[in-house]
Structure 1
């Protein structure tokens, strides 16, 4: 299982606060590129991202913004 960002909730939050992606990234304490990667599931949110989010938005429900996703093993992988 991996933790992924709920893009819809991040977009709602961004809109409610009137922030652009650069401003949201700055508030969380990550680069705009890192925010983009997390929101587009190019990478998982790391410790700095999660900590920054919790500090910036202490009243937001963590479970709404971050979801556990199950990974499926590829059929082509060998299990030796």
Structure 2
């Protein structure tokens, strides 16, 4: 997914990834999500297994841009 966002480098300033695994689970390892090679900056947050709506709200609250796009982990945006 992050590699697909490099196609939109001029419009994607930052990516917020919300990990919704339960609190007792291990969190997402952000080392593979580092910015670089055309990738936007990535911020990883947790919502501790509260479900998709809560995860989206966590991401929404962290966003600082005029536009916000929600993508699930199985969605890959096209080039256009």
- Between structures 1 and 2, the one with greater helix share: 1
TM-score, scaled relative to structure 1: 0.30
TM-score, scaled relative to structure 2: 0.30
- Between structures 1 and 2, the one with greater strand share: 2
